[in-house]
Amino acid sequence: MFTMRRSERLVSRCAGYEFEDQIVEELEPGAVLIEPPEVASRDLALRARRWLQRRDLPSGPLAGAGQPLPVEQDLDLLFFMPAAPYDLLALDGYRDWRQRTGYAVCFLQELWISEMDHQLRDLRRILNQFDHVVSGFYHTAEALSERLDTRVDYMPHSVDAELFNPFNGARLKPRSIDACAVGGMDTGAHDALWSWAERTGHHYSFTTTGGAPLSVSPKVHHHYLSQTLQRSKYFFTFLAKRWATGQRNAQEEFGSRYFEGAAAGAVQLGDIVSSNPGFVASLDWDGAVVAADYFSTDLPELITHLESNGQWIETVRRANVANCLTRHDHLHRWAGMLEAAGLTETPGVVARRSRLQEQANALRKAPALAS
pLDDT at residue 272, rounded to an integer: 97
What is the distance between the alpha carbons of residues 149 and 278, in angstroms, rounded to a whole number?
23
Give me the pLDDT at residue 182, please: 93
Q: Where are the domains of the chain?
A: 11-154, 161-365
Residue 63 has pLDDT above 70, yes or no: no
Residue 106 β-bridge partners: 80, 133
Whole-number percent of the chain with pLDDT over 90: 68
Residue 3 scores a pLDDT above 80:
yes
Q: Are 238 and 303 in contact (CB under 8 A)?
A: no
**For the domain bounded by 161-365, which CATH number is listed?**
3.40.50
pLDDT, residue 86, reads: 83
Q: Is the dihedral of CA 238, 243, 247, 248 positive or negative?
A: positive
pLDDT digits (tens, 9 = 90+) for 78-122: 999 999 888 898 898 888 999 999 999 999 999 999 988 887 877
Q: How would you classify residue 64: left for phi > 0, otherwise alpha for psi between -120 and 50, otherwise beta?
A: left
Confidence of residue 169 (pLDDT cuts 50, 70, 90): confident
The predicted pLDDT at position 203 comes to 98
Residue 191 host element (H or E): helix 187-200
CA 275 – CA 20 distance, rounded (Å): 30
Mean pLDDT of 223-250: 90
Predicted TM-score (pTM) of the model is: 0.92
45 has a pLDDT exceeding 90 = no
Instruction: Say whether pLDDT at 252 is over 70.
Output: yes
**11 pLDDT higher than 70:** yes
Q: In the predicted model, is pLDDT for residue 304 greater than 70? A: yes
- Residue 279: its pLDDT value, please? 98
Supply the pLDDT for residue 55.
57
Between residues 311 and 248, the one the model is more confident about = 311
